[in-house]
Structure 1
């Protein structure tokens, strides 16, 4: 099966933009020798996982900034792990007959994700560490190829929709350290293209699927679980431990359950869920996430 011409046309336009905006990630950013997590903001305080919770009110401003630093490290780590899987999946699909019409853009997609990892990894390895991932994945070898392709691109789109909300806001937050603003701004500009492509391709793969009812149910269940597990990683006990908070696992669970954070997750995910509902991919809200 070949992709619709509309998808191929979008891929060609995005390839041209990517080619014209090409950059060298090794010279684009001047890294400071060191940073001070208790002086500068590295994440917008309103976006932190403890914002609006009782725990937040117990912390000083220095505590808030230290937490913001380690949540930035976690955010960048999530992107590193997400992009490792994304790069592997894109490389696997290069020049498959089903994807031949968008192969040029997959090259740009892969190149840009690699550059993003250089920025994210550069921050984490210079100033902290890369946090481990607790995300789960589907074994694509155990499902038909068309199902595996759909899950791969749908999962990528969902992950990037959530990430881009943070990028968009933090790129504009003048309180943030210039390095943090640059990383978020750069990621948002290129992710915007990835999301245009992703929505087009996911729509096409869904509309042309030929699956039985059980497969559709399984796919929907997987995507709902993926949204929940993706959000869970924003409440990382390792972050709370590094930020000096006692009982980090209890802090993580309390934050996850708090009404303010439930509403935050619903707000950030609203655009993505709206798209999935419009295309009848995920007609119901994944209640475990909210």
Structure 2
């Protein structure tokens, strides 16, 4: 990028951040007012009964409406839903660990200093969420490993910034949709409903910020990216859709509930029309955002 292009991009970025300053101030004030201490807000039950209580909405499980769906045995269905809850909380832990690291490296950077106050709250709230998710997995279940390979942040800083916040938006849009539905599900154990509600309460602010900053970064930097860079950025976002969703179909969960060939179960569930339709429904708002702003030009391959 030429020196003139860098100057123009820097000006567009400053103007863009100034344009969202009211939104950022409002979100910062809401975070201050609505702060919740995770060590005081929740009393953990001494034990839970995975086969007696629901901890994950059965319609949201990764095997729902597939031939593997254990609907014929309600105890088995609740046990599977419990493991799905542990996987959902685990993938949030892994995702938020990566998110917190990325936020920390961008805090007080000269070109982003105007949003640093909110980044403090953003990082603090993600840490708080990990207390809830980790508390559940450590006390009652297990922390499932992540097979996701983090993308390399080498190359232009403008590209790395854009991809970081785009991935955060995509990851949190999906998780938040699950949170909203499960916080309202009266069948679920009150602990599961509380964790989902508490997460959504903060995520609604994070999503508003992520949408704003992704749009600012795109408008600031995309005009100076060459065609090869644009193709690569769009491909990476498509990969984020695939890898984010793939972790919902966890062979380790299927092994834990007794399937003999968990990898085949994962592939069959991923390809099933009912699950493809489910992914499209959950991703609809996020996908619409990327398409409407010209960030993506078509649906990501092999997701829906």
TM-score, normalisation: structure 2: 0.93
Question: RMSD value over aligned CA atoms?
Answer: 1.0
Aligned partners of 2:70 and 2:76 also within 8 Å: no
Q: Identify the residue that residue 144 of structure 2 maps to in structure 1.
A: 131
Q: Identify the residue that residue 120 of structure 1 maps to in structure 2.
A: 133
Q: Identify the residue that residue 271 of structure 1 maps to in structure 2.
A: 285
- Secondary structure at the counterpart of residue 29 of structure 1: coil
The structural deviation recorded for 1:139 is 1.4
Residues 241 and 13 of structure 1: CA distance in aligned 2, closer, same or farther (over 3 Å): same
CA–CA distance in structure 2, aligned partners of residues 241 and 249 of structure 1: 9
Q: Identify the residue that residue 207 of structure 1 maps to in structure 2.
A: 219
CA–CA distance in structure 2, aligned partners of residues 130 and 259 of structure 1: 29
The structural deviation recorded for 1:249 is 1.1
2:259 to 226, 245, 263: 245
1:186 to 173, 178, 198: 198
CA–CA distance in structure 2, aligned partners of residues 150 and 137 of structure 1: 15
2:270 to 244, 256, 265: 256
Q: Identify the residue that residue 144 of structure 1 maps to in structure 2.
A: 156
Q: Is the counterpart of residue 222 in structure 1 residue 243 in structure 2?
A: no
Residues 185 and 58 of structure 1: CA distance in aligned 2, closer, same or farther (over 3 Å): closer
The structural deviation recorded for 1:287 is 2.1
- Secondary structure at the counterpart of residue 53 of structure 1: coil
The structural deviation recorded for 1:4 is 2.9
Q: Identify the residue that residue 168 of structure 1 maps to in structure 2.
A: 180
Give the count of matched residue pairs.
289
CA–CA distance in structure 2, aligned partners of residues 57 and 130 of structure 1: 23
What 5-or-longer segments of structure 2 have no aligned partner? Answer: 1-9
Aligned partners of 2:134 and 2:143 also within 8 Å: yes
The structural deviation recorded for 1:244 is 2.3
Q: Identify the residue that residue 100 of structure 1 maps to in structure 2.
A: 113
CA–CA distance in structure 2, aligned partners of residues 134 and 284 of structure 1: 26
Q: Which moved more, 1:95-104 or 1:52-61?
A: 52-61
CA–CA distance in structure 1, aligned partners of residues 134 and 214 of structure 2: 29
Aligned partners of 2:70 and 2:77 also within 8 Å: no
Residues 249 and 14 of structure 1: CA distance in aligned 2, closer, same or farther (over 3 Å): same
The structural deviation recorded for 1:27 is 1.2
Residues 143 and 162 of structure 1: CA distance in aligned 2, closer, same or farther (over 3 Å): same
What 5-or-longer segments of structure 1 have no aligned partner? Answer: none
The structural deviation recorded for 1:9 is 1.8
